[in-house]
Amino acid sequence: MRYEWYIDLYLLINLLMDAGLLWSLGKSFQIPLRWRQIMAGAAFGAVGACGEAWIRLLFLDIGTKMRVPMAKAFVEIQVISIVLLLLFPAGMIRLCFGRRDWRTFLKLYVMLYLEAFLAGGILEAVRQQVEVQGVPFWAVFFLTAGVFFLIRFFYLFYQDVKEERKYCYPVVLKYGKQKVNAIGYLDTGNQLVRPKDRVPVHVVSEQVWKQLFDGADKEEKIPGEIIPFSTIGNPYGQMEAMQIEEILLKFGYGKKKVLEKPWIARAPFPISRGNRYQILLHGETDPESTMS
């Protein structure tokens, strides 16, 4: 059996594809990369792809000459290919991103496979539309541009949600017998303080405020204060503020931090879109200090 394989073209296509995938992977994880790192990983992957294809052809040729049953030869070739295809991406990540902890490495490994799967599917769909359906090139161009901007939109949305969740913590507010569970967002822009002693003030939603104080006993309630605040839309605003017993911040792996005798203020505006969090923690709150 005779095969014609243009290895130089196959190598170039894989090199460019792998470089694009590694560049996209670095952008997704916000890992700064140099082009020599990207090209080193891409070259390893391209050479590996050529080696895997060559081994496939070699085993197929040997199996044909030795008259090995086709089913058995197919299984052997597939096993070898799977092993190689599992090893080569690991080498690409190691050369491109350097030494990483196992969690980060696993995330990079899985995401690289997902990117390769999606890219391969998109290219195959484009090829079929152009070759089989006779779709004009300009239509493919605009379709590709639309797909790019759609992916870009979802990427930016994902980064926005990821960045927001990075500073979100489960919190428990305690006032007398009342305890309210909520989600707090560490807002570096919140620099609200009590005018008398410059104590930080955390801003809570109307819902949290009512849950905390409407159910409290009358003898537990103490007079509140009015704290001025300034925003672009309301430069002379005022918020009602109260001092509570504590705010408990919870972290991963069982860590927590207690803020003793904090001040909170009732927000006259929505805290977040979609009620993703209900408390704006003061910008100077340090979650990493004094954790238990």
- Residues 289 and 194: their CA atoms lie apart, in Å, by 22
Final residue in a domain of this structure, among 135, 159, 179: 135
Residue 151 in domain: no
For residues 180 and 118, state if they share a domain: no
At 246, the pLDDT band (50, 70, 90 cuts) reads: very high
> In this predicted structure, which of 56-70, 85-99, 113-127, 145-159 has the lowest mean pLDDT?
56-70
CATH number of the domain encompassing residue 231: 2.40.70
Residue 39 in domain: yes
Residue 108 in domain: yes
Residue 289 in domain: no
Residue 143 in domain: no
Q: What amino acid occupies position 93?
A: I
Residue 287 in domain: no
For residues 191 and 129, state if they share a domain: no
Final residue in a domain of this structure, among 114, 135, 156: 135
Indicate the DSSP class of residue 254: G
Residue 82 in domain: yes
For residues 242 and 191, state if they share a domain: yes
Helix (H, G, I), strand (E, B), or coil: what is residue 172?
strand
pLDDT in tens, 16-70: 888 888 888 888 787 888 888 999 999 998 898 888 878 777 766 665 665 555 5
Q: What pLDDT score was predicted for residue 181?
A: 92
Name the residue with higher pLDDT: 29 or 120. Answer: 29
Q: What pLDDT score was predicted for residue 174?
A: 92
How many Cα atoms within 13 Å fall on the side-chain side of residue 175?
24
Q: Which domain holds residue 265?
A: 167-281
At 128, the pLDDT band (50, 70, 90 cuts) reads: low
Residue range 163-192: mean pLDDT, rounded: 83
Name the residue with higher pLDDT: 7 or 39. Answer: 39
Number of other residues whose CB lies within 10 A of the CB of residue 205: 20
Residue range 262-290: mean pLDDT, rounded: 81
For residues 17 and 80, state if they share a domain: yes
